[in-house]
Amino acid sequence: MIPVIAIDGPSASGKGTVAERVARVLGFHYLDSGALYRVTALAARRAGLAPDAAGPLGELAAQLPVRFEGGDIYLSEQVVTDDIRTEDCSREASLVAAVPEVRAGLLVRQRAFRQAPGLVADGRDMGSVVFPDAALKVFLTASAAVRAERRYNQLMNKGIPANMQVLLRDIEARDARDASRAVAPLQQGNALLLDTTHLTIEQAVDQVLSWYAAARPPAS
C-alpha cells in the first residue's frame, strides 16, 4: 500500500507549506488539493458559471484541463499559478468547494496523485474522505488572528495590497462555511491536532515527521 500523509486544516493555517516541506524531506509526491478547487473556481468564472450552478460546475470539475508541471499550474495550457492565489479566487474556491458535484468531480483526480513512493496531501477532507486509509492524519490549525497575519504578510511580500481586518473577516467566514457545509465539512475527526499558533514552520514539519516515523509500519 502506497503511504499517504493527510494534512487538513482551515484556510491560511500553513498546511500547504508544511505539507510541501514534509514531502520534500521524505521524497514523496505532493498534492495541493486547494489548488484544484481554486482552478475550478477560476475556470467557472471564465465560463460565466454561477457558484451555485451545481450540474455545470460538477461537469467542469470532472473535465478540468489542469496540469501541474515544474512548480507551475496550467489551465488549458495557460499558466494560472498567480491567478489562483488572489483573495477573490480564494473566496470563490470556498464557494464552489461546498458544491457536492464539484467535490465528486475532483475525487478521482485527487486519488490519482497517490503514487510510489508516497504522497503528502493537504486540504480540508484529505484524511476524512479522499484518503481515509492514510498512514498519518494531521489536523493543522492556528488562531484566526495569526492566520490573518500570516496571509497579510504573504500578500504584502508579493506586492499585493491587503487589509488585515478584511482578511480576518474573510478567514472567519471561510471557517464557518467550511465547517458547516453538507458534504465533507472541515473537521478534526480522528486526526492528530497540530496547533501552529506558536510554532515555526520548522517545528511543525519536525512534528509531522516524528508522528509519521512512529506511525509507519516497519520495513519488511
Angle (CA) 29-30-34 rounded to 5° is 155
Instruction: Indicate whether 110 pLDDT > 50.
Output: yes
Q: Identify whether the C-beta of residue 74 lies closer than 8 Å to the C-beta of residue 67.
A: yes
Pairwise CA distance, residues 100 & 52, whole Å: 10
User: Which domains does the chain carry?
Assistant: 4-212 (3.40.50.300)
pLDDT on residue 3: 96
Taking only the tens place, the pLDDT of each residue in 28-48 is 999 999 999 999 999 999 999
Taking only the tens place, the pLDDT of each residue in 139-159 is 999 999 999 999 899 888 888
More confident residue, 51 or 45: 45
| 85, β-bridge pairs | none
pLDDT on residue 220: 45
The candidate with the shortest Cα–Cα distance to 53, out of 95, 81, 23, 88, is 95
Q: What percent of the chain has pLDDT over 70?
A: 98
Pairwise CA distance, residues 108 & 130, whole Å: 9
Distance in Å from the first CA to the final CA of the chain: 13
In this prediction the pTM is 0.86
**Residue 31 per-residue DSSP state:** E
Instruction: Indicate whether 95 pLDDT > 50.
Output: yes
Angle (CA) 109-186-23 rounded to 5° is 55
